């Protein structure tokens, strides 16, 4: 038997979505300590799992590992399609649990494409491996000028920068009770539309923010400067997505972001992936005030939702 647990991740955005540049995508994000997914696997002669999604991941995992089967159960799970990386973390946790049940190394980076992960952003895979704040190098644009490669026919983008964030930093999460973020074929169609008309000049602006502001602030542990840069990256990305999601941030996320961004206890406010999760950066001394501000932001948007304050994860998945 083996149990694998790993936290969620936030996705701050991409470095480039224009076909005019040599590298496409290039994700930025951070691993979180919570909420978590926890998967247990035991050896078996076939695949047995009550959760249909996890069963499909387990079937693929047993195939790529060349093992007969596994009985798989999920003790904790992430909310799906809300911007917390549930798909990648669940798929990789399933792969790792099955592998360790057979005393195998999961080799998640090499095998992730065969589970359909890492086709755009490498943040989820990197967060699973080592935690921290990560920036990936994207994919060669030439591979995406026609149809995207089939499942398994890509490599996960390389990590080009990783930093452990200060232990007193906190992320406040506000998850509105709203429609789930885009996924599956709908997400593929939306991303294709965004990429085909993306302004290459926005990528140049993102590059300046990342290289001259975000990475130095991460390396030196400057919370306010890091937060300002994260917020800038999010708004620049939102300009690419505006036609697809109805604004720089999708409704009602835009109202939550605007309300939360105006509170002195919070910086670096944005939308994770397609949302609806809104994140903001604070520290341990101000986490109660940040949580209260997030609840007030949800009320201002006239939506219910969940608020929690969590730490960044300084390490990747854990095996029990």
Alpha-carbon distance 156 to 129, whole Å? Answer: 12
What stretch of H or E contains 26? Answer: strand 23-43
**Strands (E) located in 60-188:** 70-76, 133-136, 139-140, 159-163, 169-176
pLDDT digits (tens, 9 = 90+) for 87-129: 999 999 999 999 999 999 999 999 999 999 999 999 999 999 9
The reported pLDDT for the residue numbered 182 is 65
pLDDT digits (tens, 9 = 90+) for 213-228: 999 999 999 999 999 9
Give the pLDDT band of residue 249 (cuts 50, 70, 90): very high
The reported pLDDT for the residue numbered 57 is 97
The reported pLDDT for the residue numbered 152 is 78
Give domain limits for the chain: 2-319
Alpha-carbon distance 286 to 222, whole Å? Answer: 16
Alpha-carbon distance 317 to 83, whole Å? Answer: 19
Exposed/middle/buried for residue 216 (C-beta within 10 Å: 0-12, 13-18, 19+): middle
The reported pLDDT for the residue numbered 320 is 85
Round the average pLDDT of the chain to a whole number and report it.
Answer: 95
pLDDT digits (tens, 9 = 90+) for 189-209: 888 899 999 999 999 999 999
Give the pLDDT band of residue 185 (cuts 50, 70, 90): low
Q: Is residue 305 within 8 Å of 176, Cβ to Cβ?
A: yes
For 2-319, the fitting CATH number among 3.40.50.10440, 3.90.1150.10, 3.20.10.10, 3.30.230.120 is: 3.30.230.120
Give the pLDDT band of residue 181 (cuts 50, 70, 90): low
* Confidence (pTM): 0.95
Give the pLDDT band of residue 78 (cuts 50, 70, 90): very high
Edge-to-edge strand order for the sheet containing 305-310?
A: 267-271, 278-283, 169-176, 305-310
DSSP conformation letters of 241-284: HHHHHTSSS-TTHHHHHHHHHTSTT-EEEEE-TTSS-EEEEEEG
Share of the chain above pLDDT 70, in %: 97
Asked if pLDDT for residue 143 goes beyond 90, the answer is no
Question: Quick one: average pLDDT of 233-250?
Answer: 96
Give the pLDDT band of residue 142 (cuts 50, 70, 90): confident
Instruction: Tell me whether the omega of the peptide bond preceding residue 33 falls within 30 degrees of 0, making it cis.
Output: no
Of 36, 34, 32, 40, the closest CA to residue 1 belongs to 40
Share of the chain above pLDDT 90, in %: 91
**DSSP at 172:** E
Alpha-carbon distance 68 to 294, whole Å? Answer: 47
**DSSP at 138:** -
């Amino acid at each position: 038997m083996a149990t694998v647990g790993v936290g969620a991740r936030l996705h701050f955005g991409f470095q480039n979505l224009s076909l005019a540049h040599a590298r496409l995508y290039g994700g930025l994000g951070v691993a979180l300590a919570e909420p978590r997914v926890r998967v247990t696997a035991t050896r078996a002669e076939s695949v047995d799992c009550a959760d249909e999604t996890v069963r499909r991941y387990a079937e693929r995992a047993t195939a790529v590992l060349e093992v007969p089967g596994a009985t798989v159960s999920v003790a904790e799970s992430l909310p799906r399609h809300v911007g917390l990386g549930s798909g990648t973390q669940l798929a990789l946790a399933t792969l790792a649990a099955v592998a360790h049940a057979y005393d195998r190394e999961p080799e998640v980076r090499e095998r992730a494409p065969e589970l359909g992960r890492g086709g755009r952003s490498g943040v989820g895979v990197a967060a699973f491996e080592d935690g921290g704040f990560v920036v990936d190098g994207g994919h060669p644009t030439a591979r995406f000028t026609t149809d995207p490669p089939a499942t398994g026919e890509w490599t996960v983008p390389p990590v080009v920068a990783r930093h452990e964030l200060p232990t007193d930093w906190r992320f406040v999460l506000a998850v509105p009770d709203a429609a789930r973020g885009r996924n599956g074929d709908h997400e593929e169609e939306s991303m294709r539309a965004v990429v085909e008309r993306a302004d290459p000049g926005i990528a140049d602006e993102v590059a300046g923010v990342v290289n001259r502001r975000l990475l130095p602030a991460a390396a030196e542990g400057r919370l306010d400067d890091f937060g300002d840069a994260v917020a800038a990256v999010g708004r620049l990305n939102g300009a690419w997505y505006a036609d697809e999601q109805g604004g720089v941030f999708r409704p009602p996320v835009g109202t939550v972001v605007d309300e939360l961004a105006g509170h002195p206890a919070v910086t670096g406010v944005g939308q994770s992936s397609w949302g609806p999760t809104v994140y903001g950066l604070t520290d341990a001394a101000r986490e109660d005030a940040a949580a209260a501000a997030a609840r007030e932001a949800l009320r201002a948007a006239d939506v219910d939702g969940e608020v929690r304050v969590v730490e960044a994860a300084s390490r990747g998945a854990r095996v029990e």
